[in-house]
Structure 1
Amino acid sequence: MTAEVPATIIQDVEQVLARISDAFVKLDREWRYTYVNHKLAELAGMNQEDFLGKSIWEFLEAVNSRLYTELHPAVAEQVTVNFEYFYPKWHHWLKNRVYHSETGGSILITDITE
């Protein structure tokens, strides 16, 4: 039996993710966006809702890219992965810290373009 997480804790976590200066992404096991904070939307020049439910691979046009080969081990092998990657679609260099979970993965992204 698993304990239910109180709504106040969920709200607190969402508020923290909304305030951090780095971009944050939560993906499900099918690589679909389930959460993006405002920083990622700002970086991409889009709305947060534009990401939700879409596959990261189709959205970023990144199948067979270095991004693809770096992200897969994090979820498939349940390991943490850190790497820098140039996102051609957004014209930014980003440092990615990928964390696994049973339900998919999370990515903390820092813009290092400058």
Structure 2
Amino acid sequence: MRTGAARGGVGHERRRHRRVPVSLAAELRLGPRRWLGRLRDLSLGGACFEPEGPEAELGAADGGEAALFAPTLGAVPIPVEVRHRQTIETAVIAVGLAFRELPRAAEAPVRERVARSE
């Protein structure tokens, strides 16, 4: 069950940047709360985060602001917006994130990862 409704109709792709599959350790922070997990895909505009374990009951509202930390992407906080959550019952299994601003230290590692997978 997906909690974020697709805008623009069925089958309409809203992304400006092509996603590439990855498997990168990451941490998502929403205020004082933190979740460990992995990025399952990445683009120049955002990423899909899969939280680990039972703590995956993210209370993040779509549109909420957060920070993403991924050691292989420059090890700096990347400001993100929660775009949608994919759930099974009450557990969040994936969170779609849009980069609000890609910090300079993260830009080259993100571009390199995306280019490597093309």
TM-score range, shorter chain: 0.3 to 0.5
Taking CA–CA contacts closer than 8 Å with sequence separation of 6 or more, which of the two structures ends up with the larger relative contact order?
2
TM-score normalised by the chain length of structure 2:
0.37
- Relative to its length, the structure with more helix (as a share) is 1
Compare the two structures and name the one with the higher strand fraction. Answer: 2
- How does the TM-score come out when normalised to structure 1? 0.38
- Which of these two proteins has the greater Rg computed from alpha carbons? 1
